[in-house]
Amino acid sequence: MKSVCFYFKIHQPFRLKRYRFFDIGNDHYYYDDFANDEIINRIAEQSYIPMANTLLEMIEKSGGEFKCAISISGTAIEQLQLYVPEFIDLLKRLADTKCVEFLSGTYSHSLASLEDPVEFMREVNMHDQLIHRLFGVRPKVFANTELIYDDDISLLIKAMDFKVCLTEGTKHILGWKSPNYVYSSAVAPDLKLLLTNSKLSYDITGNFNNTEWDEYPLTADKYVDWIAALPEEEQIVNLYLSMDTFGTFLPASTGIFDFLKALPRFGKEKGVQFTTPSEASRRLKPVGNLTIPYPISDVDEARDVSAWKGNDLQREALGKLYAIGERVNLCSDRRLKQDWEYLQSSDHFYYMATGKNAAGSFSPFDSPFDAFTNYMNVLADFIVRVEEQYPEEIGNEELNALLLTIRNQAAEIESLNKEVKALRQNILTADDSVNAAVEIVEKPEIELPKPKASAKKPAKTAEKSKPAADEAPKKRGRKPKA
């Protein structure tokens, strides 16, 4: 039986405000709150909320037979919590159905996997802790930022104990092979790879509303027929789609939500089931290994990372940012670490893309050079703040040793404070006699009673104090002998 796995991606960056050169050192707040508020509310109203309700309806009407996966970044969660908390509630309802699997990823949808392995692993851990805290599940399948992947990254993914990774089924990697199988990493054979079917994904995102397409209009039964007609041995079709496609780029008036709602019914008729990535990976075995020496992604025709690292502007900005990563991670300044997360979002570097990779209408800036200048002004102020706490003259190893000493001393002080607190508690609960003694010692204003002077009688003379020898017998009532 053919299996289809839908992956819906949700990501929003914290967009930067216009930050001038003269703001450096004077203004430490970098974000366009108005734009962030307006965009997340608009997309939530048009796309996220209707999509969540559509998925809930599909799960309910199919009796739990419809299943899918959601990949959501930490920065998107933060904005949704801030501006559209009702959508977080819908995600919790989806998690409660047990039919939706939440994927692991980088917290800020960053490029750390290409720049800093330690930072990459820290971000993934931070993201997964947030997912567990909100939805009560621990992600088991990994999907990197824009599905970026290569052999080196696979080793990092395996080191984090993931068994399954989602990435792009690129033609220049697969060649004649089909993406509709489970593969494994050539350098980490225990890591299973699920590959997206970019053609069938694009038929929804790019062609659904394309009147010039020779297959227009796309209907649910036609789409399921295409999947059912695939060779029998091709058992899994992975469809990776941005959730804001539904309702924003493809408005509700196009019938896109009705198309989705009809899929489970036609799938059941044609013997096509819907699954989660974990279920598919447990059921299916890899058919071979894939060697991917250079990074791939799901962006642009080249399916590489040139959209973020294709020109000198992007490489300069990335180099400056990650050069201070070690110092930032040593600090405990909450605002500094928060800015560090937000500045890592891949969107900032995508806006700097030129040529065929240009962000175009997706960018809030007039040009890639405008985006670069604005970002570097922000980064310059951020670097100043980092160096104020951790000067560049001090080497990272020396700084780390100093901070370790300070933290050890702080831990020792905390331990001593606990001991003092425990001793005070023991004193308060001691018996009455000890309490009385403590009260006397601690209250010097209570004067101890002075000892009374003993009343001594005047000493008698030897003659008066001692009886005469001849008087003693009389006092004992005896007569003297003859």
Which positions are catalytic?
Answer: 146
- Name the residue among 367, 374, 388 with its Cα closest to residue 343: 374
Q: Which two tokens stand for residue 93?
A: 């309802």
* Residue bearing tokens 């890592």: 344
The answer to whether 303 and 297 are in contact (CB under 8 A) is yes
Round to whole Å and give the CA distance between 234 and 22.
59
* Residue bearing tokens 């008036």: 253
Cβ-proximal residues to 289 (8 Å cutoff; 6+ apart), any chain = 183, 184, 185, 186, 189
The answer to whether 147 and 298 are in contact (CB under 8 A) is yes
Round to whole Å and give the CA distance between 26 and 84.
31
DSSP 48: I
- Name the residue among 287, 282, 364, 305 with its Cα closest to residue 3: 282
Alpha carbons within 13 angstroms on the beta-carbon side of residue 241 total 30
- Name the residue among 41, 8, 11 with its Cα closest to residue 347: 11
Helix (H) or strand (E) segment spanning residue 8: strand 2-10
Measured from the Cβ of residue 31, the count of other Cβ atoms closer than 10 Å reads: 16
Burial label for 13, CB within 10 Å (0-12, 13-18, 19+), is buried
The answer to whether 256 and 246 are in contact (CB under 8 A) is yes
Round to whole Å and give the CA distance between 193 and 3.
16
Round to whole Å and give the CA distance between 78 and 74.
6
The answer to whether 44 and 37 are in contact (CB under 8 A) is no
- Name the residue among 171, 110, 470, 125 with its Cα closest to residue 325: 110
The answer to whether 263 and 224 are in contact (CB under 8 A) is yes
Region for 120 from its dihedrals, namely left if φ exceeds 0, alpha if ψ lies in -120 to 50, beta otherwise: alpha
